[in-house]
């Protein structure tokens, strides 16, 4: 029995939620996945998984064993990468994720320069406004906007972003321009579910460290900032997005920010990577190359669009 292969199949089954999904992820037939995990359980003399027709769950012994498997597989991966030179020479495949608009404006241009400087590194860039699981999805680096939860991820700060409320001049001409956050409750709103799925928006209280929550009237809910901005330009209602997402429309005069005195503190922008084991040279090379460049591009862009 190849125990490393069986461990990999077991971990994949736990991470994907089923034996069939683990087989698809690793390109192994379902009967083979089931047999190898059963062989592993027989070898250990204990049940690791409780299986049903729709799901599986770890037994107590399985939970401890899977945690150990992850550590073992990570150490083996580190050893293989070290032997192949990945920890000495920047080379290999690098998986990066970033928010859609921010990634297109500030990350992709840096990646194109990085590829020219490091011909032995290939990059897979995934643009999405949803946060992916770096470890579970095998992502090397992520750009995240917002306060970070406590985790084992290592953050390198590259900027900050304001959260703004805005609408079209024509919309405000017809509905009036809100002077306080409470005025929003009578206006139609466009919610962007990455930041504002709930029918409540939070605002700062000038002269205080407190905050106030204001109920809003969601007329339209969308799943990308670009769609929220387009709908606001079309006059559907007010929306709340990060400044960079609406900056070009504001500069063009098609959107107008409001309630700037009530904005919550800016959200940090970070480059994240998993703080586990040795850091491959490809990851270190990108961090050292990209962090100052993203920081400079972002700062210059905000200065240009705000002026």
Q: pLDDT of 60-71, one tens digit each?
A: 888 888 888 888
Burial class (CB in 10 A: 0-12, 13-18, 19+), 5: middle
The predicted pLDDT at position 129 comes to 82
**What are the E-state strand segments in 28-99?**
49-51, 56-58, 92-98
DSSP H or E run through 154? strand 153-161
User: Which architecture, in CATH terms, is 163-262?
Assistant: 3-Layer(aba) Sandwich (3.40)
At a CB cut-off of 8 Å and minimum separation 6, what does 159 contact? 268, 269, 294, 295, 298, 299, 302
Q: pLDDT of 16-56, one tens digit each?
A: 888 888 888 888 898 898 899 999 899 889 989 887 666 78
Q: What is the pTM of this model?
A: 0.65
pLDDT tier for residue 214 given thresholds of 50, 70 and 90: very high
Q: How far is CA 190 from the centre of its chain?
A: 22
Domain 3-83, what fold? Arc Repressor Mutant, subunit A (1.10.10)
**Distance between CA 146 and CA 127 in Å, rounded?**
16
Burial class (CB in 10 A: 0-12, 13-18, 19+), 128: middle
Domain extents in the chain: 3-83, 92-158+267-306, 163-262
CB 88 within 8 A of CB 80: no
CATH class in words for 92-158+267-306: alpha beta
Same CATH fold assignment for domains 3-83 and 163-262: no
């Amino acid at each position: 029995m190849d125990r490393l292969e069986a461990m990999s199949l077991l971990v994949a089954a736990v991470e994907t939620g089923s034996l069939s999904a683990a087989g698809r992820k690793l390109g192994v037939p379902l009967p083979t996945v089931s047999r190898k995990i059963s062989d592993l359980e027989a070898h250990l003399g204990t049940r690791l998984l409780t299986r049903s027709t729709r799901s599986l769950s770890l037994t107590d012994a399985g939970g401890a064993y899977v945690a150990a498997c992850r550590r073992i597989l990570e150490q083996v991966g580190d050893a293989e990468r070290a032997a192949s030179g990945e920890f000495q020479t920047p080379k290999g495949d690098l998986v990066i994720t970033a928010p859609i608009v921010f990634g297109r404006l500030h990350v992709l241009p840096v990646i194109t320069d990085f590829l020219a400087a490091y011909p032995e590194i290939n990059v897979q860039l995934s643009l999405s406004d949803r946060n992916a699981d770096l470890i579970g999805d095998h992502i090397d680096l992520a750009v995240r906007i917002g306060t970070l939860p406590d985790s084992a991820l290592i953050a390198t700060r590259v900027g900050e972003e304001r959260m703004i409320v805005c609408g079209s001049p024509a919309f405000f001409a017809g509905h009036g321009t809100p002077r306080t956050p409470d005025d929003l409750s009578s206006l139609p709103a466009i919610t962007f579910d990455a930041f504002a799925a709930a029918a409540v928006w939070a605002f700062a209280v000038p002269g205080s460290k407190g905050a106030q929550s204001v109920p809003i009237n969601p007329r339209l809910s969308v799943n990308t900032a670009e769609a929220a901005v387009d709908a606001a330009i079309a006059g559907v209602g007010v929306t709340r997005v990060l400044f960079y997402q609406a900056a070009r429309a504001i500069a063009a005069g098609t959107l107008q920010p409001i309630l700037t005195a009530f904005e919550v503190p800016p959200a940090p922008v970070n480059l994240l990577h998993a703080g586990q084991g040795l850091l491959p040279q490809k990851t270190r090379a990108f961090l050292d190359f990209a962090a100052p460049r993203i920081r400079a591009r972002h700062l210059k862009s905000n200065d240009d669009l705000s002026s």
